[in-house]
């Protein structure tokens, strides 16, 4: 067995594991920067799933049929589950979930920019499923091969569920597009509002992304922000054609030399502004999250009291003290 006592040996073992495309597990030694980067990304990801329940949750009471309501409820519940797997993955790195939630509520940790936009019509539910979950799949499928074991494994289930989310969104939009003129107009209007924010989900351009280079070396990220954005544009265009909608970008066209679509530049000043907390729905999202957390205090207290009682009962039976 290798002697891994000295820090250089530990670093070498870590480097070899990454180079061999094997997984780093929670009990393995890892550089502080690797741990810190992962806690940052996984926590932001978890927060996004939980905050991401709100835009669609907004329509649960106004779903147009029982079938649509059941589908939407299942989807929103899935997002809660994703948040829980991801908070658990962050805990394996030594983060405390309560602490992460406090940081989110106090604005010290980020969540995805996309959830700071309001959902104005029911077509938004379909467009979020199609484009927002579509972008999430594009970003998250490569994360199933991320170098940190618990994150990569969580992504496998998350991606399976996101795939159902994307299909339900597409199916909802396809149904509306077969409906009345007013329904078709509602879908197009929603697509116009969500297209650019969906492209921004992939993060800033590569030359303005401070974390990409190191995260790629550590194989936390497997593709750059721009690579994934391009992939998303290319995959969305044929789907838009099937639906019969267009994207609000005059520069969008097939480039035979690149074998990919050219497209316009998202408004990065809007992105920065939204990330800084100035999105149309930013205050509402955090206010709601704080209220939900405060309203859940009695559940946490009850769970704690129950755990205490169980521990005492266990100690009494075994004669141990814990």
Chain residues in the site for ligand BYC (CB under 6 A)? 40-41, 44-45, 48-49, 52, 79, 110, 112-113, 128, 132-133, 136, 139, 200-204, 209-212, 215, 221, 225, 275
Q: Is 116 within 8 Å of 279 (Cβ atoms)?
A: yes
Q: How far is the CB of 48 from ligand BYC (least distance, A)?
A: 4
Least distance in Å: CB of 87 to ligand BYC? 13
Nearer to ligand BYC, 134 or 184 (CB): 134
Shortest Å, Cβ 182 to ligand BYC: 26
Query: Minimum Å distance from CB 320 to ligand BYC?
Result: 43
Burial classification of residue 309, based on how many CB atoms lie within 10 Å of its CB (0-12 exposed, 13-18 middle, 19 or more buried): exposed
Residue nearest to ligand BYC (CB): 52
Least distance to ligand BYC, CB of residue 40, Å: 5
Q: CB nearer to ligand BYC: give 131 or 176.
A: 131
Nearest to ligand BYC of 130, 184 (CB atom): 130
Q: Which residue has the tokens 């978890």?
A: 46
- Dihedral sign (CA 13, 25, 22, 15): negative
State CA 144 to chain mean position distance. Answer: 13
**Residue number with CB closer to ligand BYC (49 or 124):** 49
- Whole-number minimum distance, CB 156 to ligand BYC, in Å? 15
**Residue 139 CB, nearest approach to ligand BYC (Å):** 5
Task: Count Cβ atoms below 10 Å from residue 224 Cβ, excluding itself.
Answer: 19
Phi, psi for residue 117 in degrees, rounded to 5: -105, 145
Cα separation, 67 vs 163, whole angstroms: 19
Q: Which C-beta is closer to ligand BYC: that of 52 or that of 126? A: 52
* Residue in 309, 280, 229 with CA at minimum distance from that of residue 118: 280
**Residue whose CB is less far from ligand BYC, 24 or 184:** 24
Rg (CA), the chain: 22
Smaller CB distance to ligand BYC: residue 184 or 194? 194
């Amino acid at each position: 067995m290798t002697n891994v006592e000295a820090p250089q040996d530990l670093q070498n073992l870590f480097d070899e594991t990454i180079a061999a495309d094997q997984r780093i597990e929670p009990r393995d030694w890892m550089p502080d920067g690797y741990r810190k980067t992962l806690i940052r990304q996984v926590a932001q990801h978890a927060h996004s799933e939980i905050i991401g329940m709100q835009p669609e949750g907004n329509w649960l009471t106004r779903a147009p049929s029982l079938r649509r309501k059941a589908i939407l409820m299942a989807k929103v519940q899935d997002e809660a589950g994703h948040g829980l797997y991801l908070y658990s993955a962050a805990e394996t790195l030594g983060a405390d979930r309560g602490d992460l939630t406090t940081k989110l509520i106090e604005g010290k940790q980020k969540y995805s920019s996309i959830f700071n936009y309001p959902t104005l019509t029911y077509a938004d539910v379909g467009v979020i499923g199609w484009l927002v979950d579509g972008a999430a799949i594009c970003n998250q499928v490569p994360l199933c091969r991320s170098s940190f074991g618990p994150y990569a494994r969580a992504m496998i289930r998350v991606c399976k569920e996101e795939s159902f989310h994307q299909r339900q969104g597409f199916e909802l939009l396809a149904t509306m597009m077969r409906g009345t003129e007013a329904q078709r107009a509602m879908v197009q209007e929603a697509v116009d509002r969500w297209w650019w924010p969906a492209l921004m989900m992939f993060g800033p351009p590569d030359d303005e992304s401070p974390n990409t280079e190191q995260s790629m070396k550590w194989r936390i990220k497997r593709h750059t922000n721009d690579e994934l954005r391009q992939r998303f544009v290319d995959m969305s265009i044929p789907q838009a054609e099937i639906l019969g909608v267009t994207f609000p970008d005059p520069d969008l066209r097939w480039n035979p030399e690149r074998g990919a679509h050219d497209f316009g530049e998202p408004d990065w000043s809007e992105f920065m502004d939204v990330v800084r907390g100035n999105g149309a729905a930013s205050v509402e999202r955090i206010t709601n999250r704080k209220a939900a957390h405060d309203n859940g205090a009695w559940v946490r207290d009850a769970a704690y009291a129950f755990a205490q009682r169980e521990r005492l009962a266990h100690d009494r039976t075994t004669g141990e003290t814990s």
